[in-house]
Amino acid sequence: MDDTNGDEVRRIRTYGFCISHEQIALCGMVQHVGYLQHLNESVLPQVIKMLNSIEFVDDPSMESANSLSSL
C-alpha cells in the first residue's frame, strides 16, 4: 500500500500479508518497506523472503485435545 498524500519525499510503502494454514492464519502489516522516491532501496524483497520462510508447526497436544472434545 502506498501513501498518496503528504510530502512526496516522505511517502512510504507498507506491505500487508496474510499466510493461511489449515484453519489458522498469520496476518500483519510491515510499515516502511520503502520510500516511494527510493524504491530501489526497498526492503520488500527481504520481507517477502522472510515471510516465505515461515513454517507452521502442528502442536501434538492440540490434536489430542481436539480428539477428546469430539467424544
Listed by start position, the domains of the chain span 8-69
- The distance of Cα 41 from the centroid of its chain, to the nearest Å, equals 20
pLDDT by residue for the chain (71 residues), tens only, comes to: 777 777 777 787 888 899 998 888 999 988 878 877 777 888 888 888 999 999 988 777 766 555 555 55
The answer to whether the predicted template modeling score (pTM) of the entire model surpasses 0.75 is no
